Amino acid sequence: MQRIAPALREDNVPLDLISLIKTILAATKEISFRVGQGQLSGVLGSTLDENIQGEIQKQLDVVSNQLFKDITLESGFVKAISSEEEETSVAGHETGKYIVSFDPLDGSSNIEINSLIGTIFSIMEAPEGMKAADPDMFKQPGTKQVCAGYVLYGPSTVLALTTGKGTHFYTLDKTHGSYMLTERNVKIPEDTAEFAINMSNQRSWQQPMKNYIADLLLGKEGPREKNFNMRWIAAMVGDVHRLLVRGGIFTYPSDNRDPNKPYKLRLMYEANPMSFLVEQAGGLSVTSTGRIMEIEPTDIHQRVEVILGSKNEVEKCLSYYK
């Protein structure tokens, strides 16, 4: 089994990018350790503070964010970072070549129940001629990502990583603290009989999504003529990992629960990196109107509709919007 640096060198990934990836992964190893300690770590409860999204922060959200911030900003390769937990971008080194967006702890509601949580990150090159303190550096479409990944803190700690040459899985070997390549060129099956959606929002979806899911639920007796199974982990890392392993469709569609907030998931540090990983594994990642990675962002914390996974099933879902 290969360690991460030689595996990335084989894919001709530039040395400075390899170094940055290793820096990010150092933070994930510490989070993995703390998560593994459970209540013994003393960081599983809530804080009394809200983050920029208006959500109550968990202690682990705050600790993970601080860890990522400290460790990435120490790297001379980083010009700025943006995070779910930071109001705006944070400046690093003026000469840094890369900018990093991250969701330090995805699936916060799963922390206290000892269920799946993860970290998501996305790396782009900093545009020429902009200052490290300028948040507009982050307003680049997902097609500009040079690397994306997530770390899933489950029974084992798994990294899914792409630098544009396929999506690969690594597993953290906790005996010596290294991520080892465990599956090269993951491929999402084109067809599936499994879907992931939060059904409790059904009454608030747009009609095309209501119709699509209704047909899946009709199973063998309906127009799809086969039975579908449903899964929902409430942590995108867990749901996307499942569909990278065995296929599926995952969606957080637009809904009208709050007219000012039709979407839930964040473009920069959830939808874009997951789209890069899914596309590199042969899947599709779209909104009901186009490819997610082609969206021109207007805000660091922008939210977006997400439909991703097995190619034929995503296309089928989209056909309900036509």
Residue ranges that bind ligand AFP, judged by CB under 6 A: 55, 106-109, 198, 234-236, 252, 264-265
Classified as helix, coil or strand, 204 is: helix
Query: In whole angstroms, what is the distance from residue 265 CA to residue 267 CA?
Result: 7
Q: Which residue is nearest to ligand AFP (CB)?
A: 236
Nearer to ligand AFP, 18 or 43 (CB): 43
Structure tokens at 50: 């809200």
Rounded to a whole number of angstroms, the minimum distance from the CB of residue 124 to ligand AFP is: 21
Rounded to a whole number of angstroms, the minimum distance from the CB of residue 109 to ligand AFP is: 5
Kindly state the DSSP code that residue 76 receives in the 8-state scheme: T
Nearer to ligand AFP, 179 or 252 (CB): 252
Rounded to a whole number of angstroms, the minimum distance from the CB of residue 59 to ligand AFP is: 14
Structure tokens at 95: 């000469």
Rounded to a whole number of angstroms, the minimum distance from the CB of residue 163 to ligand AFP is: 23
Rounded to a whole number of angstroms, the minimum distance from the CB of residue 131 to ligand AFP is: 30
Nearer to ligand AFP, 80 or 236 (CB): 236
Query: In whole angstroms, what is the distance from residue 60 CA to residue 98 CA?
Result: 26
Which run of H or E residues covers position 152? strand 145-153
Nearer to ligand AFP, 218 or 234 (CB): 234
Phi, psi of 243 (to 5 degrees): -75, -25
Tell me the CA distances in angstroms from 233 to 7, 115, 230, one per residue in order: 31, 9, 10
From the list 105, 128, 92, 88, the residue with the least C-alpha distance to 235 is: 105
Nearer to ligand AFP, 13 or 213 (CB): 213
